[in-house]
Amino acid sequence: MTKFKAWLNAARLRTLPLSISGIIVGAALGDFYGHQNWIIFVLALFTTIGFQVTSNFANDYGDGVKGTDNEERVGPKRALQSGILTREELKKGIIISIIIDLFLAITLLIVAFGIENYLLIILFFGMALASIWAAIKYTVGASAYGYRGLGDLFVFIFFGLLAVLGSLFLFTKFLTFSSVLPAITIGLLSTAVLNLNNLRDAISDKNAGKNTLVVKMGYANGKIYHYLLLGVSFLSMLIFTLLNYNSWYNFMPLFLFIPLILHAIRVSSVKEPFLLDPELKKVALNTFFLAVIFYLSFNIFS
């Protein structure tokens, strides 16, 4: 494996569609409420991708240093685990990624709010710093929250509530009660992807001392928790649709839950955790397509 390919592996490009799903839904809501700005949309996408790449670099580093990425782990081999990238190289990659994140975030906020609205810029810049902190502290450091069963909560907040509602505010400068519902949907589906990852790695995580929520509650209960995440995400999207119904096109995102039902049936039949690996991609891509269809159904087709 070349250095370039190792950096691509560390960036984990397959995680990017899920990371931008919240931004797409936030933009869809902004357009739905009469506020569209493609410059803000593109900058928000690049900023979010930057945060995700930083998170992936840090996750590779943190799990590699702690020994969680070992021969027991299922899934693609990590950059530090493979030995192609050293600790120092990954550290430098994380620092460079953070610098790029901060530049993108500041540019986005100035474009969205104008330099005169410095209070809003400071507030949202604080959120950007919190996002970077969350990206790094998931696995890095002695107090990494991913090792204490808090990863699910942070994914729900940052991938769901903050991504959707934060991007919506960039467009509209206001929030609505019903906009919380699709934010909950995206947050829970993103959490479901993490939960699948934790179900898959339940054995190796437990042996490595990584106390994810699945390790704490057990494999069987982790499956029940997974079904709840999927079910409540569907209810949230259904309620939003009923509250904002304009035409039958608005129900199109709900059809994206059919593959998720099939996925849940598949999860229920899996006995060996490592067999869940293909399901991660399915839920992540399904969430991304749900976000795209959500945009189309409320702004293009209706």
Grouping H, G, I as helix, E, B as strand and the rest as coil, residue 85 is coil
Lowest mean per-residue pLDDT among 59-63, 71-75, 232-236: 71-75
Average confidence (pLDDT) over 207-232: 94
Q: How do residues 98-137 score in pLDDT, each as one tens digit?
A: 999 999 999 999 999 999 999 999 999 999 999 999 989 8
Whether the Cβ atoms of residue 202 and residue 215 lie closer than 8 Å to each other: yes
Residue 66 pLDDT grade (very low, low, confident, very high; cuts 50, 70, 90): low
pTM score of the predicted model:
0.93
Question: Distance between CA atoms of 133 and 106, rounded to whole angstroms?
Answer: 16
Q: How do residues 36-55 score in pLDDT, each as one tens digit?
A: 999 999 999 999 999 999 99
Average confidence (pLDDT) over 219-231: 96
Lowest mean per-residue pLDDT among 18-27, 227-236, 271-280: 271-280
For position 230, what pLDDT does the model report?
98
